[in-house]
Structure 1
Amino acid sequence: MKFALSPAALLCAIALSAAAHAQTPAPAISDGIVKIGVLTDIAGPFMDNVGKGSIAATEIAVEEFGGKVLGKPIEIVTADHQNKADIASTKTREWLDRDKVDAVTELGNSAVALAAMRIAQEKGRMSIVTGAGAQRISNEDCSPNNVHWVYDSYALANVGTKSLVKNGFKTWYYVTADYAFGHSLENDGRKFIEEAGGKVVGTSRYPFPGNDFASYILKANGSKANAVAIATAGLDLQNAIKQGREFGLGSGGQASVAMLMSLMDVHGLGLKTAGGMMFAESFYWDHDAESRKFAEKFMQKMKRMPTALQAGQYSAIRTYLKAVEQAKTDEVGAVIKAMKAMPINDAFAKNGKLRDDGKMVHDMFLVKVKTPAESKKPWDYYQIVETVPGSEAFESLAQSKCALVKK
């Protein structure tokens, strides 16, 4: 016997079926795995500041989650971008298209970061910049799929120059790496120097990466500037400071100022060479109980203490995984919304807040490198001279050129 549904009953059945389908939850974790791609400088000039240490920091964050989030496994893949934007672009596309990477991170070079960010946005995935500092990353080139974690050139220049100008270093000469981050450090530094009543009397830009800084240092010496600012990072910074000492830079009352220096730079130079230098920092391993706890885990893996960039990588991945857990999905928009809603206080960040432009704003430090006589134990390198609240260290949202910021 056959039964025919009336038109009204048929419509009701269709509606019930549609409602049941709508209530079926979408997969919380795409592909059943959370995959994090650490794209870093493994063998180049930034390898000590990021590199294998940033991979280790990522591993620590994942291990603290037990290797799973929402019951699904977390996987880490790694690659060396060689500080080349084209290599970074190729690897990012490969990861996102073929390997189903959910978040590409570290990106310790500003040109690399900007390239990877664009591809991540195009593919609807997330980028987490912890190793690059050009302000444009979270300013005019901001992306709704990106977060910018550790520092930017504005905060470094702001915290690292104003106090020196106020203490009598009125004239400055820049030795600058000729690429996006170097330019950003110099331009932001110039702004704060002039605002504080100082003046930049000259600039030399060298092709990055570089080995021979003699001609640039001689020009800086000849300028008779009170302070010579070295706007680069990693091995280039160490070589420039060493060669500067050989040519008398820093003698006769002239200050040698690093616009970006790390714990590993100090370690590589030694306290005899680096002692007394002042600069902006975003993390110190011996700052408090939380920073020391993370540093102990890092030491077990790397046999040395972490840099700010490596601690920032740990913080960013830890926050990302907490947000996935809270949002109950790895969908980018939901994850970033959850990250923006949570206060960030961990081994790296104090009073941290992820803003609408994707910048994570947190307290910064002005530090002074200890002399050999002042250092009392291994890796006892910094004296924290001043803690600058994030609201004062970073550019305000009102000044931002990011299109995501509502005016």
Structure 2
Amino acid sequence: MQRRSLLKTLSGGAAVLAMPGLTLGQTQPIKIGQLTDYTGVYRDINGPGEEHAIQLAIRDFNQGKVLGRPIELVTGDHLNKADVASDIAKRWLDVEKIGMLLLGGSSVAALAVQSLAREKGAITNITSAAAVNFTEQDCSPYGFHWQVDSYAYARSAVVAAGADAKKRWFFISIDNVFGHTATPVCAAAVQESGGQVVGAVRHPINTTDYASFITQAQAARADVVVFLSAGTDLIRSLKQAREFGVFAAGKTVVAPILVYTDILAAGLDVAQGMRFADGYYWNVNDATRAFAKRYQEKMGSAPGSSHAQAYAAATHYLQAVQAVKGTDVKAVAEQMRKQPITSSFWNNASIRQNGRVVYDLNLMRVLTPAQSKGKFDVAEVFGAVTGDKVFKPLKQTECKLV
């Protein structure tokens, strides 16, 4: 575990404690915990980038203080493992007295932590794990899901595919909770659009050789090959699909959870022409470009969607603490659900009763190397789809809070 804090030095803190009229509770920091993937397949999506985005949010909020108390960020790497994540979170909640967690990386790890936080009465903000479960059967009265989830990614991918939705689809999905929840939703959307599902296979996390999966798709005479994975897994699969001639054969390659950082890592020569949907892209409006400029000053790259979501989630939480004048979990969670989202990264953003953050998604296309005007210029927006069209309808939710 590491610490990233905006606290003053120990001597400065002691001086504050000695000031008349201030109690210990008024000077103790309000702690935020970031528990995500720092070293695994989702490192570029999560880890240091999300940490920096949260630090920016803290600095932007009244110079690192809320209710006159300093804000402290504690970070940890859960290695994408549920048991590791639970152990760290338990220590943070019981010993560190952290009242809000920002969670990313694998959904299985983040789900384990949300379950623990629900029992112990702590707020969770899911900023990059994508399983729909967070606001469905595993929802929490203190939980919020900012990342586009597996349901919305799956349905929006079919919208982005356009006329290809009516063709023959083959799914190559990661064998985890994201793959298990996204594949049937995407398949159903294909069938609703008049398309046909001709096959599906699963691969374990951190797979290095996709040859057998790709050849199965080719043998099934699929027109559309879908890679339902993320991070390093997705990057490897796209590169190997290019090597095996899938793109050259005129097939359409779809990656529902294709994000900016993955495009950058795969390269435009690999991903060019692919269509996808996401809520945030750094070059959409003045607000996204301004945030990207600040983020890039330290990180050397434009931010991805998870980084923007981490910034927005931290800001929203601190605004709620300020509004209720305290850190009571029930009061803060209630305030988070009803107060407006002020980050201007999305259109029509709101929070549902089950904690699902809903917003419109951009429909985007990956640029060719010739079209790109710079290293970080990787996509163009060609349309949009409203959140109510792709996020799971609240009337269908399995969340018992509704």
State if a TM-score over 0.5 links the two structures: yes
Correspondence for 2:29? 33
State the 1:283 CA deviation.
0.5
**Alpha-carbon displacement from aligned partner over 1:19-75 (angstroms, at most 9, x marks no partner):** xxxxxxxx9979832101100110100000111100001100001011110111100
- Residue 353 and residue 168 in structure 1: after superposition, are their counterparts in 2 closer, same or farther (change >3 A)? closer
Q: Which residue identity is paired with 1:55?
A: E
Given that 1:280 and 1:366 are in contact with CA atoms closer than 8 Å, whether structure 2 keeps it comes out as yes
State the 1:344 CA deviation.
1.6
If the length of structure 1 is used for normalisation, what is the TM-score? Answer: 0.90
Given that 1:228 and 1:256 are in contact with CA atoms closer than 8 Å, whether structure 2 keeps it comes out as yes
Name the count of aligned residue pairs: 379
Given that 1:62 and 1:318 are in contact with CA atoms closer than 8 Å, whether structure 2 keeps it comes out as yes
Q: Counterparts in 2 of 1:363-382, with a 5 A limit?
A: 363-382=360-379
In 2, Cα distance between equivalents of 1:362 and 1:123: 30
Correspondence for 2:58? 62
Given that 1:127 and 1:146 are in contact with CA atoms closer than 8 Å, whether structure 2 keeps it comes out as yes
In 1, Cα distance between equivalents of 2:293 and 2:160: 33
Q: Which residue identity is paired with 2:310?
A: Q
If the length of structure 2 is used for normalisation, what is the TM-score? Answer: 0.91
Q: Which runs of 5+ in 1 are unaligned?
A: 1-26
Match of 2:148 among 145, 148, 151: 151
In 2, Cα distance between equivalents of 1:162 and 1:375: 24
In 1, Cα distance between equivalents of 2:291 and 2:376: 15
Q: Counterparts in 2 of 1:324-339, with a 5 A limit?
A: 324-339=321-336
Q: Which residue identity is paired with 2:178?
A: F
In 1, Cα distance between equivalents of 2:357 and 2:311: 14
Correspondence for 1:206? 203
3-state SS of paired residue (1:104): strand
Most deviating of 90-99 and 386-395: 386-395
Q: Which runs of 5+ in 2 are unaligned?
A: 1-22
Given that 2:158 and 2:165 are in contact with CA atoms closer than 8 Å, whether structure 1 keeps it comes out as no
Correspondence for 1:115? 112
- Residue 68 and residue 55 in structure 1: after superposition, are their counterparts in 2 closer, same or farther (change >3 A)? same
Q: Counterparts in 2 of 1:232-271, with a 5 A limit?
A: 232-271=229-268
Cα RMSD over matched residues? 1.6
3-state SS of paired residue (1:98): helix
Most deviating of 236-245 and 99-108: 99-108
In 2, Cα distance between equivalents of 1:36 and 1:355: 23
3-state SS of paired residue (2:96): coil
Given that 2:166 and 2:194 are in contact with CA atoms closer than 8 Å, whether structure 1 keeps it comes out as no
Given that 1:175 and 1:228 are in contact with CA atoms closer than 8 Å, whether structure 2 keeps it comes out as yes
State the 1:365 CA deviation.
1.3
Correspondence for 2:320? 323
Q: Which residue identity is paired with 1:247?
A: F
Correspondence for 2:216? 219
1:170 aligns with 2:167: yes
In 2, Cα distance between equivalents of 1:307 and 1:163: 19
Q: Which residue identity is paired with 2:32?
A: I
Correspondence for 1:42? 38
In 2, Cα distance between equivalents of 1:165 and 1:220: 21
Given that 2:31 and 2:74 are in contact with CA atoms closer than 8 Å, whether structure 1 keeps it comes out as yes
Correspondence for 2:90? 93
- Residue 97 and residue 230 in structure 1: after superposition, are their counterparts in 2 closer, same or farther (change >3 A)? same
Q: Which residue identity is paired with 2:218?
A: N
Given that 1:311 and 1:347 are in contact with CA atoms closer than 8 Å, whether structure 2 keeps it comes out as no
Correspondence for 1:10? none
Match of 2:225 among 203, 228, 231: 228
In 2, Cα distance between equivalents of 1:28 and 1:99: 16
Correspondence for 1:187? 184
Given that 1:29 and 1:330 are in contact with CA atoms closer than 8 Å, whether structure 2 keeps it comes out as no
Correspondence for 2:49? 53
State the 1:164 CA deviation.
2.2
Given that 2:114 and 2:124 are in contact with CA atoms closer than 8 Å, whether structure 1 keeps it comes out as yes
Correspondence for 2:72? 75
- Residue 67 and residue 240 in structure 1: after superposition, are their counterparts in 2 closer, same or farther (change >3 A)? same
Given that 1:58 and 1:313 are in contact with CA atoms closer than 8 Å, whether structure 2 keeps it comes out as yes
Given that 1:49 and 1:309 are in contact with CA atoms closer than 8 Å, whether structure 2 keeps it comes out as yes
3-state SS of paired residue (2:294): helix
State the 1:294 CA deviation.
0.8
Correspondence for 1:273? 270
- Residue 372 and residue 103 in structure 1: after superposition, are their counterparts in 2 closer, same or farther (change >3 A)? same
In 2, Cα distance between equivalents of 1:277 and 1:165: 12
State the 1:269 CA deviation.
1.4
3-state SS of paired residue (2:343): coil
3-state SS of paired residue (2:341): coil
Given that 2:156 and 2:256 are in contact with CA atoms closer than 8 Å, whether structure 1 keeps it comes out as no
Correspondence for 2:8? none
In 1, Cα distance between equivalents of 2:305 and 2:352: 20
Q: Counterparts in 2 of 1:293-304, with a 5 A limit?
A: 293-304=290-301
State the 1:163 CA deviation.
4.3
